[in-house]
A and B are shown apart, each in its own frame.
Chain A
Amino acid sequence: MNSTRLLEVNDLRVSFRTDAGEALAVDGVSFSVGAGETLGIVGESGCGKSVSALSILGLIADPPGRVLPGSSVRLRGEELLTAPPARLRDVRGGEVAMVFQEPMTSLNPVLRVGDQVAEAVRRHTELRGDAVNERVVTLLDRVGIPDPASRARAFPHQLSGGMRQRAMIAMALAGDPELLIADEPTTALDVTIQARILTLLDDLRRERNMALVLITHDLGVVAQVADRVAVMYAGRIVEEAPSANLFSTPAHPYTIGLLRSIPDPDKPGDRLEAIPGSVPSPHAWPPGCRFHPRCAVALDRCRTDDPSLMQASATRAACWLVEEDL
């Protein structure tokens, strides 16, 4: 185990001010990523996964959002939450890059794609002049855009969704990052393209020994690419495990419920096992274990005591059942 992991997030808490009062979107999230590793953060809408990712790079708008004191985000030991703005700007796009879900809105529609990548190259490298253009073409080529020299002159709306996402990835790579955060990178894309983008991300990771944090609601995506998976629910991580373990022996009832409710293309059935109820709002989190109202195997204790992550071999899960089983 490395003494200093590439990225260490500890006890992250983020609150938002809304019409109905202040609410915690992220409530005590801790995870770490090592160099060259892929961590998948999985959860449904409202669980806080995107907010967690945005906080790493200090991208939470304040107001209405606020990272609460006591939270820590360390990049190779350096605390990012208190870093001066100039340092943060260097980190963004430099050591840590981010790719978003909707490439159409993440790319500036009035600038040519090549110019946008070039801007990133100029910001984060020493290259100037023609060398910049060469690097742009190299990057576009590496992300799998055919005929990169002429595609560089295209505007975003002239490219397909998959191409735009590749262009975004090229921009992210311009600064040769050690960590790439991808927030739902394939959700807006067609199924056949999804697979290719994920493969691309995986290849890039291996080539550059780049760590990858992949945020998604799609368990299938995570299964394809991740080494380790963290499952989030109601602002917390409820299970964390190596990918293989998570899918073969899931520990937390929420994870189990999620896996059961996905229709399996190889096995049609009559009914899916749906998790009853719905995700609680941050204004009204249930007491005790936040999942207990929807849990089929809840104990009495789950109503009153809030479990923290407990170790069970290679898996950690926030569930009293895990403790009991030991």
Chain B
Amino acid sequence: MSEPILRAEGLEKRYSTGRSGPAGLRRPVQVEAVRGIDLEIHAGETLALVGESGSGKSTTGRLLLGLEPPSAGRVLYRGRDLADFDRATSSMFRRRTQVVFQDPYGSLNPRLTVGGMLREVLTFHGLAPEHGTSERVAELLTLVGLDPSAAARYPHEFSGGQRQRIGIARALSVEPELIVADEPVSALDVSVQAQVLNLLADLQVELGLTYLFISHDLAVVRHVADRTAVMFEGKIVEEGTTERVFADPQHPYTRELLSSIARPRAGVP
């Protein structure tokens, strides 16, 4: 078994939200979003993190990306602790790992054109090739199935599915090896979902990407993931190959989750 790209050991994350009690006896209230997670992601695979709202799956994603420091435990990138990273290593880590968000309406800066945003990334990381950033921008847009003329337009001129593609283009612009996709298709219509999922699958093959796929939608997860981890109230309650987890769920929560998927009765000509 090769060294995992990302590994979480005993991850915990607590937030304090406000104070409870009368003014004299205020105590901070702690919310435990993540309560001890161990996780490994291997090169080339798609690991799904499944759970309902409040399960801590999005927080875990952010912790793995180093966007927030854990309250306890550590995140290891290729064996090295994120907390030990100096500026240069941090910068490298940022290029190797990227994120795609759920909300196509909040994930793009409304004041920047698509091209402007992509150019900023390329220039910041010094990724502009000799023949110029415009070419690379056009390349990226074509890669995600958009016309290069999209570069001159603003986010509000695009549909949800198209914005999601732009978000993917942004993630790809730094040529990462791992992408954390946090509910990437949940806010999209069914027919657009399929397009974006296909795109993600194609990109994985073409560019050799590794995915951490966070979702609450089991049908989607079944379709895309090699391995699945089920989260409930901050802990992983079940983990294994997707096939096994779906065919033979061990934990009662997993069973409940699986049984509540509403299935359209099959049968298509």
Contact = CB atoms under 8 A, between A and B. Distances in A.
User: Are any A and B Cβ atoms less than 8 Å apart in their complex?
Assistant: yes
Contact of A263 (B159, B220, B266): B220
A263 B53 CA distance: 21
A111 interface: no
B264 A219 contact: yes
A264 B194 contact: no
A223 interface: yes
A322 to B, nearest CB: 13
A160 B191 CA distance: 30
A191 B267 contact: no
Contacts of B194: 261-263, 272-275
Nearest to A223: B264
Contacts of A276: 195
B189 interface: yes
A272 B198 contact: yes
Contacts of A249: 267, 269
A263 B189 contact: no
Contacts of A275: 191, 194-195
Contacts, number: 122
Interface stretch (B17-25, B120-128, B254-262): B254-262
Contact of A224 (B201, B262, B268): B262
A274 B194 CA distance: 5
Nearest to A198: B262
A248 B218 CA distance: 23
B263 A265 contact: yes
A287 B105 CA distance: 30
Interface residues of B, number: 41
Contacts of A272: 194, 197-198, 223
A125 interface: no
B266 A264 contact: yes
Interface in B205-238: 216-220, 222-224
B44 interface: no
A13 B111 CA distance: 36
B265 interface: yes
A191 B263 contact: no
Interface stretch (A3-11, A143-151, A164-172, A252-260): A252-260
Contacts of B192: 44, 274, 278
Given A190-B216, A192-B256, A275-B194, A45 B268 contact: no
User: What are the 9 closest A-B residue pairs judged by CB atoms, nearest first?
Assistant: A220-B262, A261-B194, A274-B194, A263-B223, A44-B189, A190-B52, A272-B194, A195-B260, A247-B265
Interface of B: 52-53, 159-162, 189-195, 197-198, 201, 216-220, 222-224, 242-243, 246, 256-269
14 contacts: A44-B190, A45-B160, A191-B216, A191-B260, A198-B262, A222-B264, A247-B264, A247-B267, A261-B190, A263-B194, A263-B197, A264-B223, A265-B222, A279-B189
Given A256-B268, A266-B222, 5 more contacts: A258-B191, A263-B222, A264-B223, A268-B243, A273-B194
